[in-house]
Chains A and B, each alone.
Chain A
């Protein structure tokens, strides 16, 4: 009876040891990556450092090594990368092949990054996205300051076209607002871009009723950009003095939300008598989602009530005159 127990114990130990001994990197590569990218193994040369919070620095000449912390801004999350719009790319499609040597040379550290327009601008393939219009809007935006590029908001290693393909609008809103809050709720990042005083988002919006509901149901850019019907997402960020503060811009039949958040869904017609019905799938905006049938019915009932009262009054006056 003892022999099989010893045998299975040894077997279990061997399996466990094999699993533990396996290098972390191979465990981190998921089969799904191969479905979208032909360069997963090549990319791993970069990810083994830039996909981790630490890396091994080796000094071959003096035969020494040390574990160093990777700067957070240099870390690329594998999962996010392989689900982003650039998921099929090899790292060296955009970065110099010389990065394959480590430590990276000083010259490489000054590598100029590609910007959106370098690949997407003035190209018929991407004409539907109107990158040229986006660039024009950005140039007029309050964000057009030194060291502020597309990358400041749109990390090419994790960017997803969320709004365009939004199944869950609330998730898309969260994704979008986090883009703003990455700097506007983190003074360390904010201070890297500007000398301005810290903005405390909650305090600067204390005039806004039901702040939590607003932050969860609409994007910052609904109020902080100028409407532009030719692009999906407006990029002309306005100075705070020009941000929308009039409630009726959204809370009215002609709500601006149809030109912003619900722009690409607003072609849908009235459903169940509700004005701007497309918004009802996600939310309900007082003033913007009146029910046409209820409005008509209430007018009819109110009118009939008044009619009966007027007629009753007339009969009373007539009776009084007779007596």
Chain B
């Protein structure tokens, strides 16, 4: 039985998170399938990929709107603010914990509390992923969804090429974020503890 139990993930966050995760995974697989499409073999049939990719993109975009508005009007927004204060020393401390401290059984440098849901590395990466990466991904995705509306030339290259390259780069960076995010979620008390938090809403740990 855990002796620290904090209710950190209200229902709307958990719903947003599961929709975000599922649509992002669908977008990732269909995106890879489209990018590496081949006449002989495809991971997913091209037209099916286009359909799934478009539908999931629309859902993800609306869901992103829910996240932004939710953070504006609920207490969850505070976890994403003031992320630049003493940034580098905090990042270094957290990095050292993940690189060395965790194997020595040392204490967590930034224990999770009601006021501090994320450690500095999480905070920075979540802010970049959600407030920089996602908008870029959505804007470039919308541009690709309506290619006839795109300006023919941006920075002296084809508008389509510009948005597609941007979409692919941001999509790739966010998928790397996803892999690291999934792995760091196994760093709880037990590998499954943090995943469980996203189901029941409670952060649990032994002190």
Contact = CB atoms under 8 A, between A and B. Distances in A.
A290 B35 contact: yes
Interface residues of B, number: 30
A74 interface: no
B161 A284 contact: yes
Contacts of B46: 246-248, 251, 287
A289 B179 contact: no
B42 interface: yes
Interface of B: 34-39, 42, 46-47, 50, 98, 102-103, 105, 144, 147-148, 157-158, 160-161, 164-165, 168-169, 172, 176, 179-180, 183
> DSSP majority for the B interface?
helix
Contact of A283 (B34, B103, B158, B168): B158
Contacts of A305: 176, 179-180
B68 to A, nearest CB: 28
Nearest to A301: B176
A254 interface: yes
Contacts, number: 80
B35 A287 contact: yes
A310 B156 CA distance: 42
A279 B15 CA distance: 43
A248 B164 contact: no
A246 B102 contact: no
A256 B180 CA distance: 39
A300 to B, nearest CB: 11
Interface string A202-214: 0000000110110
Contacts of A210: 147-148
17 contacts: A210-B147, A213-B148, A246-B46, A251-B34, A251-B37, A251-B46, A252-B38, A253-B38, A283-B160, A284-B161, A284-B164, A286-B37, A294-B165, A309-B183, A312-B183, A319-B105, A323-B105
The listed residue with most B CB atoms (<10 A of its CB), out of A213, A247, A282, A306, is A247
A191 interface: no
A280 interface: yes
Contact of B37 (A248, A309, A313): A248
A301 B173 CA distance: 9
The listed residue with most B CB atoms (<10 A of its CB), out of A248, A302, A312, A315, is A248
Contacts of A246: 39, 46
